[in-house]
Amino acid sequence: MPAHLHAVRSFAVTDPDSGPYALTSGPDGALWCTLVHSGRIARLTTAGRLQEFALDSPGCGPSLITAGPDGALWFTRMRDHRIGCITTTGQAHSYALPTPGAGPYGVAAGGDGALWFTQLHADRIGRITTRGEVTEFPLPVQGGFPSAIVAGGDGSLWFTLNQAHAIGRITHGGETTVHPLPTPGAAPVGLTAGPDGALWFTEIGAGRIGRITLDGDVSEFPLPDPGCRPHAVTNGPDGALWFTEWGTGRIGRVTTGGQVTEYALPDPASEPHGLAFGIDGALYVALERGGIARLEFT
């Protein structure tokens, strides 16, 4: 049964132009958010206390973020081509990548104790240990724009290929498989491992939510507005998938059977990007033109 949006609360960041971009729930029970335009990381408790931690470069472009196996938060620095790490007490450091201009973007913890990341501009998937040792694996496509990445139920890493309009899979040994999508111009971005064992993704170019099984079978679910620009997607505690509609300022929910419900944010121009559920059961959304929103459903 569709959830009812009960309340929305907004938390302002220090600089309204700092660009809240991606969110993850940390091991400390707080929400951690990248501020892509100001080179900062924000921490928001479920009680509403917000802190910001400045990185060593205001222009580094912190992008996606995830909890690492070492109890720290790991994130990509898209604009200065580094991988960053911040402890739950706010101590940050970063590691350079061997490929110049790589443009790291997506990042995920793998089942091998390392972090795996995509390289937008280098057609590579990277692996970094918690000690900062980097390995890179070239992809069999050119200009594919590898974007989000997540660990699948088969132990491999799955990733979106935004400009190749495909979903990729890479094993811990570097063996890669590419699954083209049936819809032309799909441009997949966000990706998550679903409660049904499949991978769920957003098609920002086609206004659809996609599902791919571990065997590579693809299903697609059209959204009411083809131009809504779905961006990020995450698992919900209700067994459904939740996603942002960057182009129309809405949040969407899709069941594993494909039933879609949408919820309007107070500001349709807020540009919602990343989203994550907190330990309090509320949904937190990074608004690139705004702050962090907390959505409570009943």
Positions marked active-site: 273
Please enumerate in sequence order all residues whose Cβ is within 8 A of that of 135, keeping only pairs 6 or more positions apart, or say none. 126, 127, 128
Edge to edge, the sheet with strand 250-254 lists 230-235, 241-245, 250-254, 260-264
Q: In terms of DSSP bridges, do strands 188-193 and 176-180 run parallel, antiparallel, or are they unpaired?
A: unpaired
- DSSP string covering 43-58: EE-TTS-EEEEE-S-T
Distance CA 36, CA 78 (A): 9
Edge to edge, the sheet with strand 124-128 lists 104-109, 115-119, 124-128, 134-138
**HSE-CB of 62 using CA atoms within 13 angstroms:** 34
